[in-house]
Amino acid sequence: MDGQMISSYLNVAQLDLDPQLIAKELELLEQYIASSQLPSVRWEYQIPELGEGGACSLFGYLQDEPFKLSDYVATHSQNEHKLANLQNIVNYIQQQTQVDWYGIYQATDTSEGAQLLKLAYHGAPSRPLFPLTEAFAAGSNNVQVALSKQGRVINNVENYLASGGEYYTCDPKVKSETCLPLFNTQNECVGIVDAEAFNNDFFDSRTLAILVACCIKIPHFLV
């Protein structure tokens, strides 16, 4: 069954990776989830000020008020358990890869339309919501992946920008980024994960296998 899920994921996301390596990493992830103690849920977190037009965060400038996840996600015990599992996966990713930034986003209907909502993350403060619109996708790797359902691996951000790729720079230290879709059982995109590193060529085959293994597991814990 895992083999079918992996093959389906790679096919829809249009990623050329080794299914057997992903299956091995998925097994290790499941062992970790079964044996680890769940972390606390972060219901509030600091977020940056947005730049002109709201397209990009102002790196190093934080809003006075924290973002309240509870304004978008009900705080009952079932959701708290799911969010704790998502943070547990975030912690696992960081431990296994030493990635500098990693976040899990769910596609969510809000009063301002469909958006990507950040549920759990590791790293510096970042924006909590991304509008799921074609207009925003023109400058956002995250939204482009969510709308296209295709994964993106960028091992040199500078070269990617020079070639005209959809991207906005918030943290100038980021040199590599991988953004991958999350699918439900009907292969509909229900969110994305975003990983960033301060080195070029960070996302090798094993690191990508770990990320994809987590992408297969994460939808079980979306709220």
Checking if the pLDDT of 32 tops 60, the result is yes
- How confident is the model over 107-164, as pLDDT tens digits? 999 999 999 999 999 999 888 999 999 998 888 889 999 999 999 999 999 898 888 7
Give all domains of the chain, ordered by start, each with its CATH number.
1-220 (3.30.450.40)
Q: Sorting pLDDT into bands at 50, 70 and 90, what band is 40?
A: very high
**pLDDT for the residue 172:** 78
**pLDDT for the residue 34:** 95
CA distance 48 to 63: 6
**Out of 136-140, 196-200, 215-219, least confident range:** 136-140
Burial 109-123, CB ≥16 within 10 A → b, else e? eeeeeebbbbbbbbb
Instruction: Report the predicted TM-score, pTM, of the whole model to 2 decimal places.
Output: 0.94
**pLDDT for the residue 107:** 98
**pLDDT for the residue 162:** 84
Q: Sorting pLDDT into bands at 50, 70 and 90, what band is 55?
A: low
**pLDDT for the residue 52:** 58
What percentage of the chain exceeds 90 in pLDDT? 79
- Sequence-separated (6 or more) residues with CB below 8 Å from residue 148: none
What is the maximal distance between C-alpha atoms in the chain?
47
Q: Sorting pLDDT into bands at 50, 70 and 90, what band is 54?
A: low
